[in-house]
Structure 1
Amino acid sequence: MKIKFHHILDVLKIKTKWVTLLLPGLILGIFFFAISLNNVFTETYDIERFTSAKQTIRSPITIENEQETERKTRETVQAVEDRYLISDEVTQEQIGYIEEIFDAIGKLENEVLIDEDSSENESPVVLTNQEKIIRLKEILSHEIIENVNDTVFLKLMKVSEEAREEGKEVFITAMKEVLESGVRIENKNSRVNVVKESVTYTTLDNELISALEELSSFAIVENSFYDAEKTAEARKEAANSVDPVLINAGEIIVREGQTITNEVYEKLTLVGLLNNERNVFPVIGLSLLIFLIISVVTYEMIVLQKQRKLDKGKIASILLVSLIVVTFMKVISLYTNQTNQLFFIVPVATGVLLLKLLINERLSIVMASLYAIIGCIIFNGQIPGALNVEAGIYFFFSQLAGIIFLRNVKDRFAIVKSGLGMSLANSITVLLFVFLSFEKYSWLDLLIHTGYGVAAALLSAVLTIGLLSYFESGLGILSDVKLLQLSSPNQPLLKKILTESPGTYHHSIMVANISETACEAIGANGLLARVGAYYHDIGKTVRPHYFIENQLAIKNPHDVISPKQSAEIIIHHPYDGAEMLKKHKLPKEIIDIAMQHHGTTLLKYFYYKEKDTNKKVKEADYRYPGPKPQTKEAAIICICDSVEAAVRSLKEPTEEKIDEIVASIVNDRLMDGQLDECPLTLKEVKIIHRTICETLKGIFHSRIQYPMKEAK
C-alpha cells in the first residue's frame, strides 16, 4: 500500500512538472497570438456596388489583377500593325518597264528610216507619230502596251532628248522611294499621288510632266504583301512585353466618399476584402508560427529544468520579460509608418539583458532570435503576408550586441558599458540599411535614424538597470549583480560576523576562496559559492565562543558541559543561520547553502566522547538533521568547510598531509552519502579534489623561518 502511495505521488510530481512547463508556454502563445493577430488578419467589408465608400480602403496584399492584365495584353496585341513583305522583284520589274519605255523612245527618235522604194538621191523619209507608235509597240513589252496609253508615248516623243532624260531620272527616283517603302492595295492611290506630286513640283516641261503623271498609274503597283508569320511573331512579342497589372499591398483601392464602381468592386473582391473565408489562412499561418516559437521556449525551459536551474521565479521572469518586450514593439508599431521607421527606437535589448543577468546567456540568445521574428510580424504595417525583414535584422543584431558586450558583471555600470556597445552596433545596422537601399537619404534622415538606434541602446540599458531590482526582489531571482552586492564587506550580516566572531569570518573567507575555485573548475557558479560561503556560518554568531576558531585566550566552554549539550549547540548553528538569513530577506540560494552545508554528517568528536561513557548513545542524536546538499555549490562548500578547518589545524601542512586530509574528507562525504542528492558526477568530484589540493598548497606554502633576535 505504501509503495502504491509513493507511485501516485511520483506520477503527480511528473504531471505537476509538465503543467509548470507547458502552462507558461500556453500563456505566452495566447499573448503573442492576440497581439499580432491584426498584423495578419484582414478586415472585410459589406459593400454594395454604386454606393459611396465610408472610409479609405487599402489593399492588404499584393496580387495580380489577371482580368486587367488580359485586357491590357489584348489592347497591346491589337495595337500591333500587320507585318508586310516588300517584294524587291516587283520593284525592279516596274523600274525596268519605265527604263524600257524611255530607252525605246530614245532609240526610236534617233533612228532615221529610209523608204526602201526610194532612190539613193531622194531625201530620207521621217516616220509619222502614228508610225512611231506602231513601231514602238513592236519593240515594247506586252505588259507596257496593255497598260500605257498611246498619248503618253506621244507626249514623251514631243520633248527633247535632254528633257526626257531629266524627266526619266526624276521619275525613277520618286518611283524607287515609293516602291521601296512598300505599296499595298489599300494605299496604292495615295502612293501614286506621291509620285505625281514629286514630278509636278519640278521645272520640267508641262508636256513631260503630264506624261509622267499618267505614267505613274502604271509604274506604281502593289509590291507589299501581308506576312502572317511575322505578324504573329510581332504580336507574341508585344504580349510578352506587357507587365502584369498588380494591386500592391497598401495601395488605395477607393478613397472615402468615392463611388464603388464595378472596377473598384472587382478589385475589392480580388484582394479578399469582401470574403471572410480568406482570413482563415493567415490565422492558421500565424498559429503555426506561434506554435514553433513556443516549442522553442518550452524546450529551453526543459533544458533548464534538467540542469536544476529552473524555478517559479525564473519561469515568471521569462513570461514577464517577453510580455514587456513584445508590448514595447506593439505600442511603437502603432505610430510607425513607411516614412518614419520608428522601430529603430524600440528598446528591444532590455529583455535579453535581463534574461542573461537573471538566468543565463544561452536562453537570452535563443529569445533574441524569437523576439526578432515576432518583430518582423508586428512591424509589417498590418499587411497580411508581409514581413518587415529590416526590423527583424535590426532587432537581432541589437540584442546580440547587448548579450556580447555584457561581460564581467562587477556592478551595474557593466550594463551601461553594454549599452554603449549596443549603440555602436545599432548605428552600424542603420548604416547598413542606408547603403543597401536605392533610396536617397539626406544627412538629416541619416542622423535621425542613427539617433534612434543610439537612444534605443541607452534606453535598453537604463530600463535593464531599473527593472533588474524588481525582478530580483519580486521574483526572488539571484543574479550576479545581486551576489556582488551581497559580497560587499559593508553588508550588515558580514559586519556582524567580523565583529562578533572574527575567527569564523576568517574561516568563511578561506572557504569562499577554495569553493569559488573548485566551482569554476567544473563549470558551476563560482560567485554563488563565494557569497554562500561568506554567509554559511552566520549562525555561529548566536554563540560564537562555543566554536573553536573564536576561542582566543579563553577557556573552551565545551570542557564544562556534556557532549550532548555541546552537540546540540553545534548542530543548531546552520538553522540559526538560516533563520537569520530569512529575517534579513537574503536569497533562497544563500539560505539553502547555510542550511545544507553540513548535510546529515556526524559530529564524530562529541559522539565518540559520549560513547566512551555511554555505550547506548544514539548516532542520530549527533547527526545534523539535514537536508543534504542539493546543488553543486552547496556540496562543494560542504567539502571545503571541513577541509579548511582540518588543514588549518595542522601544525606543519605539507603537500602530502594536505592531499591525505582532502582525500579522506572527500571519501568520507561520498561513503556517508552526503553527495547523493546533488548533481555532482564522480568525474567532477575528482576535479574538485585536485583543485582544492592545488588551492590549499598555494595558501599554505612553506615560509622562511626568520631567526629570533638574541637577548643580550
Structure 2
Amino acid sequence: MKNGILIYLTVIVLGVSFFVMTLNNVFTETYDIERFSLASETIRSPITIENEQETERKTRETVQGVADRYKISDEVSQEQLSYIREIFDAISILEKKSNEQEKENSNVVVPITNQMKIEQLKQILSENITSNISDSTFLALINVHPEDRTTGSEIFLNAVEETLGNGVRTENIQTAISNVNEAIKYNTTINESLKEPLMDLTKFAIVENSFFDVEKTSEARKEAASSVEPVMIRAGEVIVREGQTITNEIYEKLNLVGLLDKERNVFPIVGLVLLIVVLCGMIVYEMKLLDKQRDLDKSKIISIISIPFINISLMKIVSLFMTEENHLFLIVPAATSALLTKLLINDRVAFVLSAINAIFGSIIFNGEIAGSLNTEAGIYFFISQLAAIYLLVNVKDRTAILKTGFGITVVNLLIVLIFIFLSFEKYSLLDLVLHSSLAIASALLSAVLTIGLLPFFETGLGILSDIKLLQLSNPTQPLLKKILTEAPGTYHHSVMVANLSETACEAIGANGLLARVGAYYHDIGKTIKPQYFIENQLSIRNPHDFIEPKESADVIIRHPYDGAELLRKHKIPKEIIDITMQHHGTSLLKFFYYKEKESNPDAEESRFRYPGPKPQTKEAAIVCICDSVEAAVRALKDPTEEKIEEIVAAIIKDKTTDGQLDDSPITLRELNQIQRTICETLKGIFHSRIQYPTKEAN
C-alpha cells in the first residue's frame, strides 16, 4: 500500500472538483423579498410541490358551483293528470246521460239550465277539483262541442304531462304555467272557445312536483370535490418574472417552495457531500485493489482521477447550453471515459467509473432544479459507456477504437429510439433526426477524443496501453530490427521466449501482451557484444575461451543493464525496461563461477551474481522463467517430453529455491499452472517427427 497517501489526496481533490461542478445543480438560492416589491429577476420553483391552499380554494369553488339536485315526484304528476282526465271524462259522462234522458222523454220537454249542469258535474267530481276550478270554467268546457273538447283535451294533457315531466319547482311554477298556456294559445287545432277554459285549467293542473334532494346534492358535491386536480407548482415553473410585482399570492408561492427559507438550503448540500463521499470511496477501493495487485503507480492514479474529471467537465460545459427542448446531453462523448479507462487501466475500473459518470451526469443535466435527476441522461451515459467497454476487443491498433465508435453509434441510436417510444410526448420527424444526429456525433466524438487523448496519457504519464504494446511488437521497430540484424540468434531466442511467456501469462490471468513485448526486448543488451552469447556464435570460436571467467561474467552480467540503458534512450515504456532489468534477478552465473572456483577456491559467489533487482511483477517473473527454460531446452540434443518436463520443473524449483521469485506476486498454485502450460507449449514445438526412409534404406 505504498501509494495510500497519494490515493487519498488525489481522490479528495477529485471529490472537491465534483462538488464545485455540481453545487449549483442542488443548491437553491434564497431571496430576501418583501411583499408588493418588484422582482429583480425571474424566479423559478426549485421543487415540485402541491399548493394546498390553492387546491382548497379551487375545491371550494367547484363545490359551490354544483347545482342543487331535485327529485321529480311521479305521484304528484300522475295525480294532476288524473284530475284533468277526470274532468273531461265526467263532462263526457254527463253529456251521454243527458242525451239518453232526452231520448226517453222526447215527448216531455224538461229544460236543463247551465247551473243544473254545473251542479250535476260537481256531484261526480273530486272535491279537490271542485274547490279549485270556477263554475265559469266548467260551463265553458261543457258548452264546447264534444269533438273539439276531445281534441283540445288531448293536446292539453300532452302539454301538462311534458311540463310536469320536466319538473316544476316553486320558483318556476309561473313559468311552467305560461309555457303550457302559450302551447294552447298558439295551437290552431284547438277551438278558440276552448282555449280560455283550458288556460284557466292550467293554473290547477300545474303544481310543484320537483323537490330538493339532500342525498343526491351531497353526493354530487362530494364527486365534484374528488374530481378536482391538486394545484401543483412544478419544478422549473416560473413563479415571478423580472419586474413583476410580488403579490400576496406570489409571496406565498415563494414561501411554499422554500425560496424564502435559508435553512432549507443546507440539506441538498449535505446530500451532495454524502453522495460524493460514497462515489469517491468506490474509486479509493478500486485503486487500493490495484495497489494490492502491484498494478498501480502514480501515472495510473493520475489517469483514474483525470479521466472522470475530463468527462464530467465536458458534461458541465454542454449543460450550460442545454434547454428543455434541445436534449443537448445526447452529444456528450461519455464513452471516451470508458474507452480510455479500459485501454489504460482495466475493464473493472472502467465499469466503476462509467457508473460514477452516469450518476453525476444525471445531476449535472437536471436543469439546476434541486432534488431532481435527469434519468434519461444517466441511462444514456451508462449504456453508452457499457457499450464501449464490451465492444472494445481485439485491439491491434488505433483503428479498433474507430470500429468501436461505430458500434457505440448503433447503441446510442437504439437508446434514443427507446426514449422516444417510451415517451407519451409526440415527436416530429425533425426531432427524431436531430436527436439521432446528436447521438451519432457523441459516438464519433468519443472515438476521436480517445485516439487524440491516448498519446498524451501514454507519453505524458508513461502509461503502457495495449495499443502501445502492439506498436512496440511490430517487427519494423528500430530496436527489433537491430536485434534481428546484429544478433539473429538472440532474436530467435527472444521470439521463442515471447511465445512461452504470453501463453503462461494468459494461463494465470496476467498480461500476456506485456510479457510478449517484454520478451522481445529483454535481451536487447546483447547487441552491444553479440558474439559473447552462444546463440550468436554460429561460425566463430567462443570468445570466452580466451578471457578470464571474471571478465566473461562481467560481459554477460552487463547485458540486462546495457539493454535497459538502450531502451531508455529510445524512450521505451518503463514496464518493458523493468522486465529487461529483472529477467535475471540476482541469479548466479554458475558456469563461470565454478570455472573460476577451479583456479581460485576463494572466489566470491556475489561476484558472479546479477545485481538485480529480482522480478517485481508476474510478467517479469514469467519472462525470467521462460528465458531460462527456452535456453535449456534448446540445448537438448533429443528433447523428449520427459526431458522437457524434468528441465522445466528443475528450473522453476531452482528459481524458487534461490529466491528469485520472492518479490513477485506469483503464488504456488500459479507456478504449477505456469509449469504445465510451458510444458504443453514446448511439447507442441518439439513434437516427435516421423522418420522418413532414405534412398539407401530402400
Question: TM-score category by the smaller chain?
Answer: over 0.9
- TM-superposed CA distance for 1:17, in Å, is 4.2
What is the aligned partner in structure 2 of residue 669 from structure 1? 655
Structure 2 residue 378 is the aligned partner of structure 1 residue 396: no
Paired-residue identity, %: 65
Structure 2 residue 282 is the aligned partner of structure 1 residue 296: yes
What is the aligned partner in structure 1 of residue 163 from structure 2? 178
- TM-superposed CA distance for 1:113, in Å, is 9.7
Q: Please, which of 612, 615, 618 is the counterpart of residue 632 of structure 1?
A: 618
- TM-superposed CA distance for 1:480, in Å, is 0.7
Task: Tell whether the 8 Å contact from 2:3 to 2:291 is kept in structure 1 after alignment.
Answer: no
- TM-superposed CA distance for 1:473, in Å, is 1.3
What does residue range 267-278 of structure 1 map to in structure 2 within 5 Å?
Answer: 267-278=253-264
TM-score, normalised via structure 1 length: 0.92
Structure 2 residue 37 is the aligned partner of structure 1 residue 39: no
SS at match of 2:108: coil
Q: Please, which of 140, 146, 151 is the counterpart of residue 125 of structure 2?
A: 140
CA distance in 2, matches of 1:404, 1:568: 50
Q: Please, which of 146, 149, 156 is the counterpart of residue 141 of structure 2?
A: 156
SS at match of 1:612: helix
- TM-superposed CA distance for 1:597, in Å, is 0.9
Task: Tell whether the 8 Å contact from 1:113 to 1:125 is kept in structure 2 after alignment.
Answer: no
What is the aligned partner in structure 1 of residue 324 from structure 2? 338
CA distance in 2, matches of 1:151, 1:280: 91
SS at match of 1:382: coil
What is the aligned partner in structure 2 of residue 9 from structure 1? none
Q: Please, which of 241, 244, 249 is the counterpart of residue 258 of structure 1?
A: 244
Structure 2 residue 384 is the aligned partner of structure 1 residue 406: no
CA distance in 2, matches of 1:162, 1:401: 96
What is the aligned partner in structure 2 of residue 531 from structure 1? 517
- TM-superposed CA distance for 1:612, in Å, is 2.6
What is the aligned partner in structure 2 of residue 51 from structure 1? 37
Alignment CA distance shift 1:348-1:111 (3 Å): same
SS at match of 2:599: coil
CA distance in 2, matches of 1:61, 1:315: 39
- CA displacement 1:443-476 (0-9 Å, x = unmatched): 3333332222222211111111111111011112
What is the aligned partner in structure 2 of residue 435 from structure 1? 421
CA distance in 1, matches of 2:523, 2:546: 24
Task: Tell whether the 8 Å contact from 1:347 to 1:456 is kept in structure 2 after alignment.
Answer: yes
What is the aligned partner in structure 1 of residue 402 from structure 2? 416
- TM-superposed CA distance for 1:42, in Å, is 1.8
Q: Please, which of 294, 317, 322 is the counterpart of residue 308 of structure 2?
A: 322
- CA displacement 1:115-168 (0-9 Å, x = unmatched): 9xxx98961423322223333222221211222222221221222222222222
Q: Tell me the amino acid that sits aligned with residue 468 of structure 1.
A: L
Structure 2 residue 84 is the aligned partner of structure 1 residue 98: yes
Greater CA drift, 554-563 or 406-415: 554-563
SS at match of 1:85: strand
- TM-superposed CA distance for 1:640, in Å, is 0.8
Task: Tell whether the 8 Å contact from 1:332 to 1:346 is kept in structure 2 after alignment.
Answer: yes
Q: Tell me the amino acid that sits aligned with residue 166 of structure 2.
A: S
CA distance in 1, matches of 2:40, 2:582: 72
Name structure 1 gaps, 5 residues minimum: 1-13
Task: Tell whether the 8 Å contact from 1:112 to 1:124 is kept in structure 2 after alignment.
Answer: no
- TM-superposed CA distance for 1:86, in Å, is 0.9
- CA displacement 1:417-457 (0-9 Å, x = unmatched): 11121122222222222333344434333333222222221
CA distance in 2, matches of 1:708, 1:231: 119
Name structure 2 gaps, 5 residues minimum: none
Alignment CA distance shift 1:113-1:667 (3 Å): closer
Task: Tell whether the 8 Å contact from 1:59 to 1:250 is kept in structure 2 after alignment.
Answer: yes
Task: Tell whether the 8 Å contact from 1:113 to 1:126 is kept in structure 2 after alignment.
Answer: no
CA distance in 2, matches of 1:550, 1:206: 143
Greater CA drift, 540-549 or 155-164: 540-549
Greater CA drift, 174-183 or 306-315: 306-315
Structural RMSD (CA): 2.3
What is the aligned partner in structure 1 of residue 175 from structure 2? 190
SS at match of 1:33: helix
Structure 2 residue 350 is the aligned partner of structure 1 residue 370: no
- TM-superposed CA distance for 1:20, in Å, is 2.9
Structure number with greater CO (CA < 8 Å, separation at least 6) is: 2
Structure 2 residue 362 is the aligned partner of structure 1 residue 383: no
Alignment CA distance shift 1:165-1:708 (3 Å): closer
Q: Please, which of 129, 132, 135 is the counterpart of residue 114 of structure 2?
A: 129
Q: Please, which of 205, 208, 218 is the counterpart of residue 222 of structure 1?
A: 208
SS at match of 1:569: helix
- TM-superposed CA distance for 1:114, in Å, is 11
SS at match of 1:260: coil
- TM-superposed CA distance for 1:565, in Å, is 3.0
Q: Tell me the amino acid that sits aligned with residue 174 of structure 1.
A: A
Q: Please, which of 294, 304, 308 is the counterpart of residue 308 of structure 1?
A: 294
CA distance in 1, matches of 2:275, 2:247: 38
Greater CA drift, 625-634 or 694-703: 694-703
Q: How many residues align?
A: 693
Q: Tell me the amino acid that sits aligned with residue 264 of structure 1.
A: I
Q: Please, which of 501, 504, 509 is the counterpart of residue 515 of structure 1?
A: 501
CA distance in 2, matches of 1:87, 1:651: 123
- CA displacement 1:18-69 (0-9 Å, x = unmatched): 3333333322222222111212222222222222222222222222222221
Q: Please, which of 334, 337, 341 is the counterpart of residue 351 of structure 1?
A: 337
SS at match of 2:98: coil
TM-score, normalised via structure 2 length: 0.94
CA distance in 2, matches of 1:709, 1:588: 57
SS at match of 1:679: coil
Q: Please, which of 331, 334, 346 is the counterpart of residue 360 of structure 1?
A: 346
